[in-house]
């Protein structure tokens, strides 16, 4: 655990920020895996999974639908009830935030608007292996379903027996997803990006993962859409003198619990709170068996200084344990998700509050946002122009087109606008001259 006083904001950001840049070794390993899967398909998936995970994949590769349903039937009723209620909250949130079609009539009488068109196939990467993250199934699949995606593909690392974790399988069955593959790492990203004999090629790949998964998403970006490049989890907590030290310690440790690179920082506005908090972090760390190397207390001279640090850092999760969190929210410019008040722990949104837990990390909250329905749709512009609006628009278009030297654009608009044939003939002559000149060249 570290503790220091905020002096220089930039230096403090550098001290807190874990690097999100993949090493040259990771880059090279991932590039080889991608090329192998692209060339050899399922055979490469099997070989790579055997080499990296020590697992021999079954044939056929996909998890049978009855296996998914059996995991749901075998799950604890309490777990199923919790997942069902969490799914309802997540679904309602994403239904509300989903983009919608619209139309409007502009000054010249033309009607413009947008249609929202879902992608055909979405690939979801759900972390797994030794761990079991049914919550990540909910967070990635539900916005895709709300978007109306035609087909959903799930890849999750296999356990030693070649199966996907039971919670992941149960969550897939709960949501009606039946295309699930026990494949993880860069090879899973490659399979969803390029397609194999078994794994369908996807239009978008979303979901959190380790350094190899993140690097693989970086390398296939452009051939397939991705949601972002998520790194280690992080929380930044702004706390005043009245904050509950034990609650702050638990929240910081909840991020440290994610493992390598995860970061929890408390920006304390009270030195007495910092003193108490140090003891609470150590006590809970010993009780829970969680390392605190990446837990930091930053003593801040004032709220304004703390918020300057918040906006420079751009945390994935931002908790505001202050007297008037709604007022402080107005000062937030960069954060993946903001939690208002001492009761609003990040853990609630990780599972069941309703918002998405796939969020920008590593400072990318400066320019990106959490996973949403937007990741699974295309906004398509729609234009409807009648004769009257064409007459009104044509002179504007022709003027700008001529300024740019694009005479066919001008002609195209003027023909619709019914502008005199003299002008049209003049443009036609100019076009012929241009064509003759191009031919001579």
Neighbours of 390 (CB within 10 A): 20
Helices (H) and strands (E) in the chain, counts: 17, 14
Exactly one of 94, 258, 317, 357 is catalytic; which is it?
317
Exactly one of 316, 319, 321, 357 is catalytic; which is it?
316
The tokens describing 116, both together, are 């929202």
The residue assigned the tokens 């990390």 is: 361
Which residues, including other chains, have CB under 8 Å from residue 10's CB and lie 6 or more apart?
Answer: 312
Of 73, 83, 67, which Cα lies nearest the Cα of 162?
A: 67
Q: What angle do CA 233, 235, 237 make, to 5 degrees?
A: 175
Of the chain, the end-to-end C-alpha distance in Å amounts to: 72
CB 164 within 8 A of CB 8: no
Residue 317 appears among annotated catalytic residues: yes
Q: What angle do CA 428, 432, 437 make, to 5 degrees?
A: 150
- Contacts of 20-26 with C-beta under 8 Å, sequence gap 24+, read 20/214, 20/229, 20/231, 20/232, 20/361, 20/362, 20/363, 22/211, 22/214, 22/215, 22/218, 23/211, 26/211, 26/212, 26/215
The residue assigned the tokens 């055997």 is: 50
The tokens describing 93, both together, are 């949130």
CB 231 within 8 A of CB 214: yes
Q: Write out the catalytic residue numbers.
A: 316-317
């Amino acid at each position: 655990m570290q503790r220091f006083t905020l002096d220089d904001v930039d230096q403090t950001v550098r001290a807190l920020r874990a690097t999100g840049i993949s090493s040259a070794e990771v880059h090279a390993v991932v590039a080889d895996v991608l090329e192998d899967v692209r060339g050899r398909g399922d055979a490469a998936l099997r070989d790579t999974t055997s080499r990296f995970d020590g697992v021999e994949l079954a044939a056929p590769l996909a998890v049978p639908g009855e296996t998914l349903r059996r995991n749901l039937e075998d799950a604890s009723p309490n777990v199923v009830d919790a997942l069902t209620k969490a799914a309802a909250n997540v679904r309602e949130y994403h239904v509300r935030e989903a983009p919608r079609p619209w139309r409007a009539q502009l000054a010249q009488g033309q009607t413009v608007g947008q249609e929202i068109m879902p992608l055909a196939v979405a690939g979801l990467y759900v972390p797994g292996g030794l761990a079991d993250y049914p919550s990540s199934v909910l967070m990635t699949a539900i916005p895709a379903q709300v978007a109306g995606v035609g087909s959903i593909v799930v890849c999750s690392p296999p356990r030693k027996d070649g199966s996907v974790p039971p919670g992941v399988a149960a969550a897939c069955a709960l949501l009606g997803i039946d295309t699930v593959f026990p494949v993880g790492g860069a090879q899973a990203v490659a399979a969803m990006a390029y397609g194999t004999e078994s794994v369908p090629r996807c239009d978008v790949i979303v979901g959190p993962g380790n350094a190899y998964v993140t690097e693989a998403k970086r390398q296939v970006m452009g051939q397939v859409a991705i949601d972002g490049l998520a790194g280690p989890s992080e929380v930044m907590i702004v706390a005043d003198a009245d904050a509950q030290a034990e609650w702050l310690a638990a929240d910081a440790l909840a991020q440290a619990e994610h493992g390598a690179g995860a970061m929890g920082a408390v920006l304390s506005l009270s030195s007495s709170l910092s003193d108490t908090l140090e003891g609470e972090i150590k006590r809970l760390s010993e009780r829970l068996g969680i390392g605190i190397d990446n837990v930091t207390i930053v003593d801040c001279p004032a709220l304004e200084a703390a918020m300057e640090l918040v906006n420079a850092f751009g945390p994935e999760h931002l908790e505001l344990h202050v007297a008037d969190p709604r007022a402080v929210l107005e000062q937030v410019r960069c954060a993946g998700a903001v939690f208002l008040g001492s009761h609003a722990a990040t853990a609630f949104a990780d599972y069941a509050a309703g918002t998405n837990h796939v969020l920008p990390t590593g400072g990318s909250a400066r320019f990106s946002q959490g996973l949403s329905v937007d990741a699974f749709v295309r906004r398509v512009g729609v234009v409807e122009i009648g004769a009257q609006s064409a007459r009104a628009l044509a002179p504007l278009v022709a003027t700008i087109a001529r300024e740019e030297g694009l005479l066919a654009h001008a002609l195209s608009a003027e023909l619709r606008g019914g502008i005199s044939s003299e002008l049209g003939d003049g443009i036609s002559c100019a076009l012929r001259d241009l064509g003759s000149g191009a031919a001579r060249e």
